[in-house]
Amino acid sequence: MGGSVKQLTAPPRTRLVEIVVPVYNEQRVLAESVRRLHAYLAGTFPYGFRITIADNASTDATWQIATDLGRELSHVRAVHLDAKGRGRALRRVWSESDADVVSYMDVDLSTDLDAFLPLVAPLLSGHSDLAIGTRLSRGANVVRGPKRELISRSYNLLLRSAMGAGFSDAQCGFKAARTEIVQALLPAVEDEEWFFDTELLLLAERHGLRIHEVPVDWVDDPDSRVDIVRTSMDDLRGMARVARKTLSGAARIPVPPRVQKARLPTGMARQLPSFAVIGVISTLAHLALFVTLRLVVPAVVANGLALLITAVANTAANRRFTFGVTGRAGALRHQLEGGLAFLIGLLLSTGGLALLGYLAPGASTAVEIAAVVAANALATLVRFLLLRVWVFNPRRAKEGAR
């Protein structure tokens, strides 16, 4: 009589982070990597976690090892997909996740795990929407061969110059996002393979979402089986598709922007997407011509001929579609003035090839292509500025249309 009744309350839900490890025929390293990741998180990570092994239709013992790990280790599960594709695996797991934050890392654990908490902490606090590890910032410590370094820097330079990307490293296999954000973006992401990351980041940036970058310590996996040339061409096609969607307005989805974007100069908001689409198409055409001509002439000659042909077509297309100049009046003058941008591109790319020949005699065609892409990406920035403020200056465009 007179005894007090204690009121029971449920303990607060622990914040949950899901880490996806996409795998395809990784029986050699899977068990060791997952055990190391699990031990690290269990011993140091201050939040709840779940490790999901996403098997992309492996044909070796990977699936059996994954299911065994799921039975052996707490907070580890395995998911099987019937088709290959890293993007397909991430889409499947992320779209069904009930975690607060979803992430992924490569199975070889090339990235130092000490970067994982700095990666996800801004997402759990609500400060940022997505987070990426970057190997290209000054604070990163990276060990890899010159070939992969050149290709990676070339690709990211092309993204920044042709697509206006603000993030520094699209390809690092170490990323995370707030689940509600990524689930809103996923329906608009089309790629199912390696371009998935880039497309997701471009879409997020276009909607004003905040992308946090963490410099990482990263060691290249010498056993990587990525087809660099095929992946690079797939990425270029993906960039063309994203630029086309942006130009048509089809990329807009109902994700509220976090911050107001700075107002662009008059006309630039319309001109940039058109210039990007034409630029990506020109880059693909230039690479196709370069590879074809390289079979019969030296690399420097092949690059010069390919660049000349695509420069004429590029100037004509930008004249009509980007800057809205019609009619024949002034067309020859525009081509001659656009030739200055051609010469800049020729000097940059020819100089890059010459430097490559000096530093790495006998370099493969894939490395030559990467050098050409890097130089042309830099020339793209100069080209747009020249076309906008000089060749197709609005006052001169009006005169040419008369």
> What residues act catalytically?
197
3-state secondary structure 161-178: HHCCCCCCCCCCCEEEEE
Comparing CA positions, the residue from 347, 324, 349 lying closest to residue 334 is 324
Q: For residue 298, what is the enclosing H or E element?
A: none
How far apart are the C-alpha atoms of 271 and 269, rounded to whole Å?
6
Beta bridge partners of 22: 54
**In the block, which residue shows the tokens 């008369």?**
402
**In the block, which residue shows the tokens 């060990």?**
143
Comparing CA positions, the residue from 246, 254, 327, 325 lying closest to residue 279 is 246
Torsion on CA atoms 307, 310, 311, 315, rounded to nearest 10:
-170
57 — phi, psi (to 5°)? 60, 45
How far apart are the C-alpha atoms of 169 and 133, rounded to whole Å?
7
347: helix, coil or strand?
helix
CA atoms within 13 A of residue 273's CA, in its CB half-sphere = 16
CA atoms within 13 A of residue 302's CA, in its CB half-sphere = 21
Amino acid making up residue 252? R
Comparing CA positions, the residue from 170, 37, 176, 168 lying closest to residue 110 is 37
The angle subtended at Cα 25 by Cα 220 and Cα 61, nearest 5°, is 135
Tokens of 85: 């594709």
Alpha helices in 58-141 (DSSP H): 62-72, 86-96, 116-124
